[in-house]
Structure 1
Amino acid sequence: MITQKELAARLGLSRTTIARAINNSSNIKPETKEKILKLVKELGYEKNYVGSLLASKKKVVYSFIVESKNSYYTEQIKLGIKGAKKEYKHHNLEIIEVVTDINKPMEQVLELKKLLDSGKQIDGIIIIPLDKTKILELINPYLEKIKFITLSVFLSKKIAYVGTDYQKCGRLAAEFLGKSLNINDKVLVIDNGDDNISSKFYLNGFLDRANEDKINIIGPVRKNGVEDSLMYLKNIFKKENINSIFINRYAQDILLEIPDYILKKQKNITTGIGNRIRKLIIEKKILATVADDVYSTGHKACQLMVDMLYKETEKKVKNIILEPKILLIENLK
């Protein structure tokens, strides 16, 4: 690996000048800095961070996480962030969790406003933004001072993003289901509303692909949660021969309440992942689920935040799009 001393020798400059360019100091001529960084990139120079990090000022990052009925999602995001933090044990980094209810977007807005107005040290914020408009209004004035990463919800081209293409999840679910259906099979689609993160995109993706594949769809039928959906299903099962159900929100809670003799005659697939969905797959009550890798979402967000805070990466905003996975019994971990 090339050193700063070797870079200085190649360019005929002092080691101090090389260090200034690498550390993004303003006390250097722009043309000199550009020449140094060009060579740094060509030769693949990597700064030795450990010594400087141990002596560096502590960085403080706040992670705004949401709680929902699916506790697995919250747990895996947290574990992903904690796992990445352990990998960077030499970094003088503190991560503070702020947890709010997924069904109370305003609670998150108020917590974020309180933090930004507090005068506390804030070097970075990782957030799952529930109210996109209000969150963007709050953070726009701070984009030059604070590093921001959004999880699962894309906010702006100016802000780094880590997440899954939920529309693609819905499309994959419809494609997979379509291959298992007979020509005249009926698929009931229940829309339980927007969770501000994924459910709207699951539904849109599923319907788009289902229409392309000419799947026989009933709905989407708009319902309001678990109890409302179960009452509707109880009635429609008496009137219609339903071969499959797709539910964009609360699917695991609803499917677990449907009698086994009905479920096991159907061909059902869900989106998302959680302990109850795993149970449904293992007990062969659903075929599969199309899921995002929630742990990796948190893990990669923390890795990206470290790069943004410590490695002085180029100012181009980075987006990390994770591929969804189709999980069946054979590959369910």
Structure 2
Amino acid sequence: MKKVTLKQIAELADTSIGTVDRALNNRGRISEETKQKILNIAEQLGYQPNKLASSLSRNRSLRLGVLYPAYPAYFFDEMSAGVDEAIRSLSDYSMDIKKIRCNSLSPEDQIPILEKLSSEHYDGLVINAGSSQLLPYIDRLAEKGIAVATFNSDIKGTRRLFHVGMDPYLAGRVAGDLMGKLMGGSGKVITMVGFCSVEAHMERLRGFLEAVRSSYPQIQIVDNAEYEDNDKLAKRVADRLLAEHPDVKGLYTVNLPGALGAALSLKQHPLASPPILMGYDVTKQLGDLLKEGICTCILYQNPFAQAYYSLMLMSDYLLQGTLPKKKHLLIQPRIVLKENVDAYYYDPSTTTRNQFFL
């Protein structure tokens, strides 16, 4: 639908744009009859007020917060670059965008920050939400009139407006089907998750397990472990599991720290028959391990684009009152192999590689 302008309303009301602005923003200096006429025309045309103009009239910027972890930096720095690009894109508007960093996606790290935010003034918040334990805190923010959206990891059932990110269940099924094919349909598999409390991690695991069990019944899941989004802990976990199951044919991790830790374990303690290793997202270090054949396959979820588009869509809502047509905007997982990994490295010196592709 074409946007209704103040000029259109002014022409139909046979008055000036300034008079229309005063009527719509209730600033007086016009007759009640003229004001009512303008309001009726605006309603008939479906006029949506420009919140940017309203913020300027209040002599303050719209305040938008973005909450996401700081560690591991090699993943979240790319997400942070997406935030920075959105800030640059919105620099001509009256928007004050504040980065709010937590240590990890664990509820112990995120809940205290959300409790504090509920007492501060924000017009909108974009949250990389981890645990379902955050649900009442997100709903409490929405009840206070704060517009909330999520990105990267979602929480079902909240009053958030929309979510930008990869479908974790679908990504897990893609990984499970690939694993089954590469293993020839039989053998033992180890799975590893970052946080059992993070919904996105468990959905990737659920999708993987369901794909394997439904299509490859001869594959046996022999163990599962948690590594708290820490690559050093992931390496120690992988060391233990691989020692206990030296005949394992597949190893699946739900994110970048897990893939990196497991790959370093396999490099330090190579097995006679190396297992197929799958994980998510790319760093130069993991890319080198992919090229060496230690890591087999990576699913890329584009953290840059997730952060960038979630902020741009939230700014559209705050400035224009428009929401995306879908409540879940999907970024499709991309399969990265040693042959194409160079195209996926994040380069902090530029934002022009392929960070905007969906």
Q: 2:244 corresponds to which residue?
A: 235
* Distance in 1, Cα, partners of 2:171 & 2:80: 22
Write the distance in 2 (CA, Å) between the matches of 1:103 and 1:7: 48
Q: Distance in 1 between matches of 2:300 and 2:189?
A: 21
* Cα distance between partner residues in 2 of 1:60 and 1:28: 32
State the partner residue of 1:136.
135
- 2:350 paired residue number: none
C-alpha distance in structure 1 between counterparts of 2:90 and 2:24, whole Å = 20
Matches within 5 A, 1:105-144: 105-117=107-119, 120-133=120-133, 135-143=134-142
Q: CA deviation at 1:270?
A: 2.0
Once the two structures are superposed, the pairs formed by residues 111-190 of structure 1 within 5 Å of their partners are: 111-117=113-119, 120-133=120-133, 135-143=134-142, 145-151=145-151, 152-156=153-157, 158-160=159-161, 161-183=163-185, 185-190=186-191
Report deviation, 1:13.
5.3
Worse-matched range after superposition: 225-234 or 186-195: 186-195
**2:77 equivalent to 1:62:** no
Paired position in structure 2 for 1:98: 100
Q: 1:14 to 1:277 in 2, by over 3 A?
A: farther
Given candidates 314, 338, 342, the residue that maps to 1:329 is 338
Q: How many aligned residue pairs are there?
A: 316
Could you say if the C-alpha distance between residues 277 and 15 of structure 1 is closer, same or farther in structure 2, counting changes exceeding 3 Å? farther
* Separation of aligned partners in 2, 1:251 and 1:24: 58
- Contact map agreement 1:173 1:271 (CA 8 A) in 2: no
The residue that corresponds to 1:310 in the other structure is 319
Give the letter aligned to residue 256 of structure 1: L
Deviation at 1:171, TM superposition (A): 0.8
Q: Name the TM-score, length of structure 2 as normaliser.
A: 0.75
CA distance 1:232–1:158, shift in 2 (3 Å): closer
1:78 to 77, 80, 90: 80
Letter in 2 for 1:159: R
Q: Which runs of 5+ in 2 are unaligned?
A: 28-34, 228-233, 344-358
Deviations 1:6-34 (CA, angstroms, capped at 9, x unpaired): 4543x455454765898899x76875333
Q: Deviations over 1:231-272 (max 9, x none)?
A: 1211321xx3x3322233623202211147538743332234
CA distance in 2, matches of 1:285, 1:95: 41
- Distance change (3 Å), C-alpha of 1:299 and 1:21: farther
Please give the alpha-carbon distance, in whole angstroms, between the structure 2 residues aligned to 1:288 and 1:255: 11
Structure 1: segments with no counterpart, 5+ residues: none
Question: What residue number does 1:245 align with?
Answer: 251
Which stretch of the first structure deviates more once superposed, 77-86 or 93-102? 93-102
Looking at structure 2, the residues matched to 13 and 178 of structure 1 have their Cα atoms a distance apart, in angstroms, of 70
Are the equivalent residues in 1 in contact too, given 2:138–2:158 (CA < 8 A)? Answer: no
> Cα distance 1:103–1:143, how it changes in 2: closer, same or farther (>3 A)?
closer
**Which one has more relative contact order, counting CA pairs under 8 Å at least 6 apart?**
1
Matching residue's letter, 1:293? N
Residue 286 (str. 1) matches residue 295 (str. 2): yes
Q: For 2:285 and 2:63, how far apart are their aligned partners in 1?
A: 35
* 2:200 counterpart letter in structure 1: S
Q: 1:103 to 1:57 in 2, by over 3 A?
A: closer
Root mean square deviation of aligned Cα: 3.5
Displaced runs of 4 or more, over 6 A: 20-25, 46-49, 51-55
Whether contact under 8 Å (2:313, 2:323) holds in the other structure is no
CA distance in 2, matches of 1:173, 1:24: 57
Report the CA distance between 1:5 and its aligned residue: 2.8
